[in-house]
């Protein structure tokens, strides 16, 4: 799993995402992408409401099950 980044999510929130993802059986590589996405949104590096990069990251998230990270 990725470490939290400066300005990213609170550690408590990250650990809750990891736990929920594990319980749901989400593959590790997908969880890593989800955490990175959340970190980038939390730090203000990514605007979740618009942008092609956001679209690309979400597409990768949904379609990326089983793909290598």
Shortest CB 41 distance to other proteins, Å: 5
Neighbours of 39 (CB within 10 A): 20
Inter-CA distances, 36 with 9, 27, 43, 56, 67, Å: 9, 15, 11, 13, 16
Is residue 40 within 8 Å of residue 34, measured between CB atoms?
Answer: no
Is residue 39 within 8 Å of residue 9, measured between CB atoms?
Answer: yes
Here's the x/- map for other proteins, 15-44, by CB under 8 A: it reads as xxx-xxx-xxxx---x---x--xx--xxxx
* 3 near other proteins (CB under 8 A): no
User: By CB under 8 A, how many residues form the interface with other proteins?
Assistant: 35
Interacting residues toward other proteins by CB under 8 A: 7-10, 12-13, 15-17, 19-21, 23-26, 30, 34, 37-38, 41-44, 47-49, 54-55, 58-59, 61-63, 65
């Amino acid at each position: 799993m990725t470490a939290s980044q400066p300005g990213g999510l609170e550690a408590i929130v990250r650990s809750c995402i990891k736990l929920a993802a594990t319980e749901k059986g989400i593959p590790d590589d997908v969880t890593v992408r989800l955490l990175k996405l959340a970190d980038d949104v939390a730090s203000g590096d990514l605007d979740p409401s618009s942008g092609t990069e956001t679209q690309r990251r979400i597409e990768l998230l949904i379609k990326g099950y089983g793909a290598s990270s």
